[in-house]
Structure formats: C-alpha cells, structure tokens
Amino acid sequence: LGRLGNRETPTVLSILVFEDLAMAVYLPVLTAVLAGVGFVAGMTTVGIALVAVTLVLIVALRYGRYVSAIVASEDREIFLLKLLGSALLVAGIASAVQVSAAVGAFLLGIAISDSTAHDATKILEPLRDLFAAMFFVLFGLSTDPASIPPVLGWAVLLAVVTTVTKIATGWWAAKRAGASQLGRARAGTALVARGEFSIVIAGLAVAAGAVPAEFAALATTYVLLMAIIGPIGARIVEPVMRLVVGRKQRVTVDPHAE
C-alpha cells in the first residue's frame, strides 16, 4: 500500500516483532503443558527458549554487520544458497532448543542489515510470493468446508472481538508515536490479520488430545475470516476515515455565527 514511510509504520513493525518474540516463549510453554511434563521440566524448556532468543538478539544488535558480511556474496546463486542455508541452519538449531523454527529464521532476518538486507529482499521476493501462495493453497485443501458452518458463529464472535482489540492497540500505540487520527486507524487495521500461528497452536492442542477436533475447525474458520477482513480493512480504512473527517468538518458550526 506504499506506507513504509508513514509515521505509524515503525510502530506497526515493532508490535509485530514483539508478537513474534512472545511466540518464541509461548510455543515452548504450550508444548510443555500439552506434553504433560513437570513444572521443573517446563521451566527448563522456557529458560532455554529465553536464553536462545536473548543470544540471537544480542548477536543481531551488536554483531549484525558480521552476520551480514558472512552471508553477503556478489554471486546471486551463492548469495541465495547462503541465505537459505543460514535460515535452515538457524531454524534447525532453534527447533532443537525448543524454540519455534519460524521464530529462529525470523531472528536471523533481524541480524542481516544494511545493503545485504536490501539485496536479500530482492532475491527472496519471488520465493516469498511462491511459498505464501503454497501455504494458503495447502491450507485451503486441508480445510473441510462441512466443518465451517457448525463453528461459524463462534468464529465470527472471535473475529469481531480481536478486530476491535487489534484496532484499539494500533490506535493507542500510533497515538503515542505522534501519528494523526488517520495514521492511528491505518496502524490498527494493519494489525488485524491473523495467520499461521493460530493454526499451529490449534494443531498442537488437537494432536495432544487437549481439545476436541472442532477446535481446529474453529481456528481454521477464524483464520479464513481474518484473512479476508485484514487486507480489506487495511485498504478501505483510509478512504473511510477521510470521508468521516470530511463530514465532521462540513457539519462544524461557527460558534460566533448567528
């Protein structure tokens, strides 16, 4: 939507980063609880996850330039192989220490900066689009349409509640950053969409037998709704806000007028 230079965009990105970091802690906790491990074992898992995330963040913030130098290459093919190899390596290490593999790869992305990050974005963009399309195709093929109607009411309720809370969060955070009302609305709607983590959490719970199979159908229906509401909301919020503001300005009456 061409909003990378907007005042509210750093706030949106910061919230998304914190969400992913929170999942780096939450997923090991969830896995430990579902596995029925003891308190000590569970706390050990969480401690390992926290240490791993902290170490990666320290490396990213203090030694990111060295990581970028290792990954960088003038040859596009070698550069691509280095990027994918590094992502798989870090994801595998993260998974081995009970941290989400997705979060591990995400933290590697934080460590790559400057021109290397710019080049990586350009070379990985086609792969990003391909895998994003594959994810939603596989997600759609694994969804039984007959399982949606029984849980649609609850999914709509969840969608309404989380849409309101997300918009409120984005509005409040962008306001603190000094964004205008239009910027606050854009920030709120940019945070609305939910995705793969909701499905992962539901899948873990169902596989462990902690919840009935309908829970997976509920998560699937919810994500489908949010996948529609999120992008549409982000696109229409600007013209809607401009219309609302324009109407307010037209109905404003001069207090000194007769």
Segment 25-39 mean pLDDT? 70
Q: Name the amino acid, one letter, at 111.
A: A
As a whole number of angstroms, the distance between CA 245 and CA 233 comes to 17
Give the pLDDT of residue 255: 53
Q: In percent, how much of the chain has pLDDT > 90?
A: 11
In angstroms, what is the C-alpha Rg of the chain? 22
Segment 77-81 mean pLDDT? 90
| 169 pLDDT tier (thresholds 50, 70, 90) | very high
Is residue 45 pLDDT above 80, yes or no?
A: no
Token pair listed for 243: 């219309």
Give the pLDDT of residue 143: 75
pLDDT tens digits along 95-119? 777 666 777 777 788 778 778 888 8
Segment 30-48 mean pLDDT? 70
Is residue 148 pLDDT above 80, yes or no?
A: yes
CA angle 194, 200, 205 (to 5 degrees): 120
Segment 43-71 mean pLDDT? 77
Burial class (CB in 10 A: 0-12, 13-18, 19+), 122: exposed
Segment 158-164 mean pLDDT? 92
As a whole number of angstroms, the distance between CA 258 and CA 247 comes to 22
Task: Give 64 or 162, the one with higher predicted confidence.
Answer: 162
Q: Which residues contact 3 (CB under 8 A, 6 or more apart)?
A: 9, 186, 190
Query: Is the C-alpha dihedral spanning 236, 7, 194, 166 positive or negative?
Result: negative
Is residue 172 pLDDT above 90, yes or no?
A: yes
As a whole number of angstroms, the distance between CA 107 and CA 20 comes to 9
Segment 175-187 mean pLDDT? 88
Mean pLDDT of the chain: 81
Q: Name the amino acid, one letter, at 38.
A: G
Spans of all domains in the chain: 1-126, 143-249
Lowest-pLDDT range of 60-74, 213-227, 239-253: 239-253
Q: Which residues contact 69 (CB under 8 A, 6 or more apart)?
A: 116
Is residue 164 pLDDT above 90, yes or no?
A: yes
Segment 42-71 mean pLDDT? 77
| 258 pLDDT tier (thresholds 50, 70, 90) | very low
Lowest-pLDDT range of 100-104, 182-186, 246-250: 246-250
Give the pLDDT of residue 248: 65
Give the CA-trace dihedral at 80, 83, 88, 92, to 10 degrees.
170
Is residue 254 pLDDT above 80, yes or no?
A: no
Q: Are 202 and 34 in contact (CB under 8 A)?
A: no
Lowest-pLDDT range of 18-22, 157-161, 229-233: 18-22
